[in-house]
Amino acid sequence: MKNLKEFKPLIRLIGKDKNRLIIASVLIFVVGTFEIFTGYLNGSAVEAITNLNVKRALIYLGLYLAIELIAEGVVMHTANSMLYKVESALTRKLGFFTYRKSLHLPACAYEKQSSGEIINRITHDADSLSFAFGRLLNVVSSLVSSFIIIIYVFFNSWIIGLEILVLVSILFLVLKKYNPKLKQVHKERKDEQDKFTSLVTESVRGIREIKTLGIKSSLITDMTVIIKRIFNKSEKEIDIQKEFNIITRFLKTTLEVGTFATCVILLYYGQISLTFFIAMTYYIYRYMWLIENINDLTQTYQKLIVSITRVNEILENKLYEDEYFGEKRLKNVQGVIEFKDILFSYPGEDITLNHFNLKIEPNKKIAIVGKSGQGKSTIFNLITRIFDPNSGEILLDGINIKKLREDELRRHISIIRQEPFIFNRTIKENFELVKPKITLKEIRKYAKMAYLDDYIMSLPNKYDTLLGEGGVNLSGGQKQRLSIARTLSKNSKVILFDEATSALDNNSQEYIKKAIDYLVKDHTVIIVAHRLSTIIDADIIHVVDKGKIIASGNHEELLKTNKIYKQLYETESLNS
């Protein structure tokens, strides 16, 4: 019963296909009910022939033929066709909703779960539902018709009925023993498969680093270990299934031979009719088919329940709660950011920001500097609500950002990271993701503002150039400038630069500084920087240490008044 609860989200997703599923189910049960009579009709036809009653035999055979043609040829085909359509639609919906739900997960979910595990849950686990309903309904229908048949058998011979019940009961005891084993080993294999997918994903995305670092052999060794584990789990799963199949095969053979032997003895002593004997030659194979399908369904069900449980952990928020947002909107945004008594620590770590207070005004170049690990990037993670503070509040124009609608927060606050993510699409399509109805004229305007238009226009396909995964066809500076241009198309009031120039050459850095200077005129611009040479012209520089602002001022003032800032600057100058 506990496992059946896992199917509730599937039932909800069926939606408009519910009627189609009900009709298909009814048709399958109708077919199962009609098939009950086929054994009796065969037996009656044979007995009529032995009594030289050809007319009656032809009537029975005609009814048998009609049931087979209509029930199996038309009704069952229609039911299966409807089921396959329901399952196909359900699989697509499940994949879509799992993907959509994954985008609503908090950032910590992606830090604790590997990319391979999340990808497998969205793709392989969702797709594993194919044909599950069809198999389940056919087995349930067979169980119902088998129950009716056993009543007919008991009515004619309690000995044969008891014989069938005993052997079928033994089968269910075997199923009860092997089901947990099959489920556990399949779950273990899934976990190893997640690691496999994760390593493949990392290898494809980091192919340049893999080649330049010379670590191909190390990764191949890791992959060999993972594949060996998957192989071992698969072998274990096959061994359990083999053992299970041998036992069920023995039970099927015992049921078949034992029932026929008993029927022969009872027929010889005149305790059953020839009609019943012939009917049993048909019905016993129905039980054999039932055992075989239960066997198949059991193995399929154990894999299915593992997959649906993994999907439900995302769909039903069993691992992580969704991000939540308010309903407030902003009018005439000014871009004033204020941190009020913020206390924050990453899960399982020490405090990063400790009673942190800061107010940032618009139309100024604001920089935040400090030693590594003192909370600079954390400030941006909180402003963008990648994480939420443990206590305190962050205000945008006097409104707590937790109370803003998600689209409102994302529209007014943008971030340009040290390693911006560029989608594997054309340059134009990268802009269209941000602003679907953007025109080429607008795109070029923003690219010019980021000093990138001349380069793009020199390309053979210009703005239709495919960038490759992660923007591999662009240099670091070009990716940064494309990210700036893409962000400009959002027209956000607050723009955050997170180490945006730390890995760039002087020429690229100069282009980005010009773009930032242009933005300062009517935006709130905040820069987190390791390279102090990129922010010495900032209007205000805030120095962060041990999770607090310990000094604020311009470059000249801080050189005179703050030891940490002076030390950072002198260290950089010495390294240069």
Q: Whole-angstrom Cα distance, residue 494 to residue 396?
A: 9
**Residue 438 tokens, joined:** 């953007």
Residues 210 and 279 in one domain: yes
Q: What is the CATH number of the domain that holds 149?
A: 1.20.1560.10
Claim to verify: residue 202 and residue 271 sit in the same structural domain: yes
Phi-psi region of 445 (alpha: psi -120 to 50; beta: other; left: phi over 0): alpha
Domain boundary at 255, 284, 315, which? 315
Q: Look at residue 16 and tell me if it is in a domain.
A: yes
What three-state secondary structure class fits 536? coil
The structure's pTM equals 0.65
297 and 421 part of one domain: no
My answer on whether 8 and 157 are in the same domain is yes
Q: Which residues of 126-165 are buried (b: 16+ CB within 10 A; e: fewer)?
A: bebbeebbbbbbbbebbeebbeebbebbeebbeebbebbe
Does 200 reside within a domain? yes
Q: Is residue 147 part of a domain?
A: yes
Q: Assign residue 548 the CATH number of its domain.
A: 3.40.50.300
Largest CA distance in the chain: 121
In this structure, are 301 and 354 located in the same domain? no
The residue among 315, 350, 373 that closes a domain is 315
Q: Name the domain boundary from 280, 315, 350.
A: 315
Asked if residue 173 belongs to a domain, the reply is yes
Q: Do 278 and 379 fall within a single domain?
A: no
Q: Do residue 424 and residue 540 come from a single domain?
A: yes
HSE of 169, CA atoms in CB hemisphere, 13 A = 6
Query: Are residues 102 and 135 part of one domain?
Result: yes
Are 424 and 505 in a shared domain? yes
Q: Tally the domains of the chain.
A: 2
Residues 437, 310 within the same domain: no
Question: DSSP string of 374-412?
Answer: SSHHHHHHHHTTSS--SEEEEEETTEEGGGB-HHHHHHH
Residue 157 falls within a domain, yes or no? yes
Whether 248 is in a domain gets the answer yes
Could you list the pLDDT tens digit for every one of the 576 residues in the chain? 455 566 666 667 776 777 887 887 788 777 777 767 777 777 788 778 788 788 888 887 888 888 778 877 787 778 778 877 777 777 777 777 777 777 777 666 666 666 666 776 766 666 666 556 666 666 666 777 777 778 888 888 888 888 888 887 887 788 778 777 877 887 788 778 777 877 777 676 666 556 555 667 777 888 888 888 888 888 888 888 788 888 878 887 888 888 888 888 888 888 888 888 887 877 777 777 766 666 666 666 666 776 777 777 777 666 666 677 888 888 888 888 898 988 888 877 788 888 888 888 888 888 888 887 777 888 888 888 888 888 889 888 888 988 888 888 888 888 887 777 788 788 888 888 888 888 999 989 888 888 888 888 998 899 998 887 666 677 777 888 888 888 888 888 888 888 766 555 666 677 777 777 777 888 888 888 777 777 888 888 888 888 888 888 888 888 888 888 888 877 766 655
For residue 129, is it within any domain? yes
Within this chain, do residues 299 and 363 fall inside the same structural domain, yes or no?
A: no
Residue 326 lies inside a defined structural domain of this protein? no
Owning domain of residue 478: 337-575
Please check whether residues 302 and 431 belong to one and the same domain.
Answer: no
Q: Rounded to 10 degrees, what is the CA torsion of 285, 291, 292, 293? A: 110
